[in-house]
């Protein structure tokens, strides 16, 4: 444990930030997973879920939770799989 007052504060703030980031990352993974499941099952609301996943990826990239290129790659792959599932349906 640090002795300096500012270092003690830093430990507390970094711990709270870590907890928030864990929650945000878990939420992000859940939205992506829901979208992937909807695509796989060819659900009616798959477009809506993919859109929500895109929004959550953008927010995560804006907050620095994930890199912007990672967000772009995941969005692209989701859209690509949604389009492939749609073509397979027809």
Tens of pLDDT, residues 32-52:
999 999 999 988 999 999 999
Buried (b) or exposed (e) across 13-46, using 16+ Cβ within 10 A?
eeeeeeeeeeebeeebeebbebbbebbeeeeeeb
Query: Which tens digits make up the pLDDT trace of 61-82?
Result: 999 999 999 999 999 999 999 9
pTM of the entire predicted model? 0.86
CA distance 17 to 35: 27
Q: How far apart are CA 41 and CA 81, in angstroms?
A: 12
Structure tokens at 75: 């969005």
């Amino acid at each position: 444990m640090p002795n300096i007052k500012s270092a003690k504060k830093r430990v507390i703030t970094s711990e709270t930030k870590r907890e928030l980031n864990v929650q945000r990352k878990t939420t992000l993974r859940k939205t992506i997973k829901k979208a992937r499941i909807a695509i796989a099952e060819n659900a009616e609301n798959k477009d809506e879920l993919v859109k929500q996943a895109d929004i959550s990826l953008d927010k995560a990239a804006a907050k620095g939770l994930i890199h912007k290129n990672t967000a772009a790659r995941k969005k692209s792959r989701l859209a690509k799989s949604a389009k492939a599932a749609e073509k397979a349906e027809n």
